[in-house]
Amino acid sequence: MAADLPIILKRNQHPISRKQIDHDCLKVLYRLNRNGFKSYLVGGSVRDLLLGGSPKDFDIATDATPNQVKRLFRNCFLVGRRFRLAHIRFAGNKLIEVATFRREVTAEELPEDPHDHLHFVQNLFGTPGEDAYRRDFTINALFYNIDDFSVIDHVGGLADLKRQRIRVIGDPMVRFVEDPVRMLRALEFAARLDFSLCNDIYSAIDTHKGLLTTAAPARVREEIMALFRYGIAAPVLRQCRELGMLPHLLAGYPGTDEGIAMLMQVDERTRRGTDIDESFSLAALYLRLFMDSCPPQGGTTIAAALQSANQILTPHCRYFSIAAGIRIRARDLLVGCFRLARGHGQRGEQKFLRHPATATALELFSLWSEVRGDLKPLLDEWRSSINNPAGHSQPPTRRKRNRRSKKNKKRTPQPG
């Protein structure tokens, strides 16, 4: 499959400049190259550079084995049990990942013991062309060769970049069975890049969407967080709903129109430059469901609201192995929105206003008010009272009785 000659763009035929590549990444590329190894920048970084973007991560592929890479770099650590990767660390917690080219295994090469298959397959080294055909989408399988500054395309990724389309390498019916998370990643890249999906992706998703429940929860969790970090949670989860993927992806998330509208507000917040953490994304996901479960004007107590928030968040956090601290912060944001929606004059208001989570809860509530416009006057009231605490009614305080100590108390003369 990888026998066809690749398309090679020389330095003057593409826009990538070494000035756009991370300085430490260049160090790794050059040292591998000087020591006689093939040294390529690979994956999404090449795609983004060709599209005129600024990659956040830079990955490297080489024909050097992990142990050979380790011998070249004192700051190198090998990770992974099934497939060894070299992580080269630099100042500021920067990490450059270096992988050895891999290839597909033939049936004749597999060990007799089926238990040894996975470890054997993932540790089979190969050529650059064979490695390209193992990747997920054509636009993610482009290489930048530091030796002559050329771009190498084994799979038609350059044509797909030009046509602005997402195409699976190989048959999607097969590749989605190998890794069901690729279905979600196809939607993610289409939304991030404003590309279209090839028709065979839609038919493969329709056939295999149920396999998402078999995917590793840790990987699904990371992909969902990637949607929030890139500000595309709303369009991708809306499309997941339309394609019938949502029940297999997020079993507890109803994906209502208002819920998706809330995520649109969160995405806009992210695109304005505000970082998002997992507790905020969790609260945003489930805010509409939470508010429906305990209407703020329905006489619901704080204890009942806390219980409802826990009942909604706990199954999600348990399935995805999300830490209790993240769940508690998300719960506090939900209950904070409940308190804000109830309005002023409730018991414990002053303590709530001093709570560390209240400012973030107010921010979440402001996004919700964009969906529920009737809440905007209430939002303005809260902002006014928080900005001008002196103008807001304070709870009555007890007058302290000025009692003298027994030691200093004057005794009244008693009649003799």
Among 4, 57, 147, 380, the active-site one is: 57
Residue 59 designated active-site: yes
Q: What count of Cα atoms within 13 Å lies in the side-chain half-sphere of residue 285?
A: 27
Specify the DSSP element, H or E, that contains 408: none
SS3 for 180?
coil
Report residue 71 as tokens.
Answer: 């011998």
Judge contact between 316 and 250, C-beta under 8 A: yes
Residue 116 designated active-site: no
CA neighbor of 73 nearest in space, from 86, 58, 56, 59? 86
Long-range contacts of 355-362 (CB under 8 A, 24+ apart): 357/329, 357/332, 357/333, 360/280, 360/333, 360/336, 361/332, 361/333, 361/336, 361/337, 362/336, 362/386
Among 136, 153, 160, 332, the active-site one is: 136
Residue 57 designated active-site: yes
* Single-letter amino acid code for the residue at 351: K
Contacts of 72 (CB under 8 A, 6+ apart): 31, 32, 35, 64
85-90 and 7-9: which strand pairing? unpaired
DSSP 105: -
Residue whose entry in the numeric block shows the structure tokens 């590329």: 29
Judge contact between 133 and 150, C-beta under 8 A: no
Specify the DSSP element, H or E, that contains 66: helix 66-72
CA neighbor of 339 nearest in space, from 371, 397, 386? 386
Longest dimension (CA), the chain: 123
Among 22, 24, 48, 59, the active-site one is: 59
Apex CA 202: angle with CA 256 and CA 246, to 5°?
25
- Which residues are the active-site residues? 57, 59, 136
